[in-house]
Structure 1
Amino acid sequence: MSEHERDYAEKRDFIRMRVDANVSLIHAGQEIEGVCLDLSSSGMQVQAPRQFSVGDLLSVRIDSEHAALKGLEAETEVVWIKADGEQHETQRLGLKILKMR
C-alpha cells in the first residue's frame, strides 16, 4: 500500500466532529483569525482568510466559551489546501495535529 493510500485509509479511522468555532492561527509571529469547521483526534479543517502553503507549521488556539473548560492549543502542519470563495479569497486547510499543549 502506498503512503498516499495509507493516509487516505487512516482518515476514516478517526471520528470527525463538526465544530464551527472561532480559531486563532499563529504563523511566523502573526495571528490570523479563522474558523475551525471540523475536528478529530488527529487533525482539523480550518477556513482561513489568507494564503498558506502545504508544510507550513501553525500554532492553533480555540478558546473555550466556558470558564470551567480549558480551550484547545496545538501545534499543527498544513497537509492540504483548497481554495474557497468566489474570488478564492479564503482557503480551507487540512491541519495535522503534531502536538497538543
Structure 2
Amino acid sequence: MIGRDDQRSYYRMLVNADCLVVVNSIETPQEYNAICRDLSANGMAVELDESIDVGKEVSVRISSASEQIPSLTAKGKVLRCAPETSNSFICGIEIIDMA
C-alpha cells in the first residue's frame, strides 16, 4: 500500500497490472491497452500512451492470472489525465460501478 501520509479516504494498493480501458462513446468505443498502477475502493490510476479527456466515461478490465480469482471490470469517469513522460500519461479514474 502507499504510505499513511496520503489523505485519501481509502488506501491505494500498488497493482502494476495490464488492463484494457474502453472510452464509452456514442460513435465508436475507443480501446486502449494500459497498465493499472494503483487501485483503491473508489478509484484507480492507469498509465496509457494517449491522453483521455477529463469527464469521459470509461470501462476498465483487469484480467486475472488465476482461474480462482475473477477478473475485475469497473465503470468509471476520468477525473484527471496528465503527462507522466514524453510518451505516457497517468489518468485518475473514479470508480462508479463494479461489474
TM-score by length of 1: 0.83
Displacement of 1:82 in angstroms is 1.5
Which ranges in structure 1 are unaligned for 5 or more consecutive residues? 1-10
Q: 2:97 maps to which residue?
A: 99
SS of the residue 2:66 aligns to? coil
Secondary structure of the residue aligned to 2:50 is coil
Give yes or no for contact 2:19–2:35 (8 Å, CA) kept in 1.
Answer: yes
- Residue 58 of structure 1 is matched in structure 2 by 58
Alignment correspondent of 1:22: 18
**Alignment gaps of 5+ in structure 2:** 1-6
Superposed displacement of residue 42, structure 1: 0.3
Matching of residues 11-90 of structure 1 within 5 Å: 12-27=8-23, 28=25, 29-85=29-85, 87=86, 89-90=87-88
Task: Using the TM superposition, give the Cα deviation of residue 37 of structure 1 relative to its aligned residue in structure 2, in angstroms.
Answer: 0.4
Partner Cα separation in structure 1 for residue 30 and residue 82 of structure 2: 21
Instruction: Classify the secondary structure of the residue corresponding to 2:61.
Output: strand
How many aligned positions are there?
89
More off after superposition, 57-66 vs 76-85: 76-85
TM-score normalised by structure 2 residue count: 0.85
Shift of 1:80: 1.2
Deviation at 1:30, TM superposition (A): 2.2
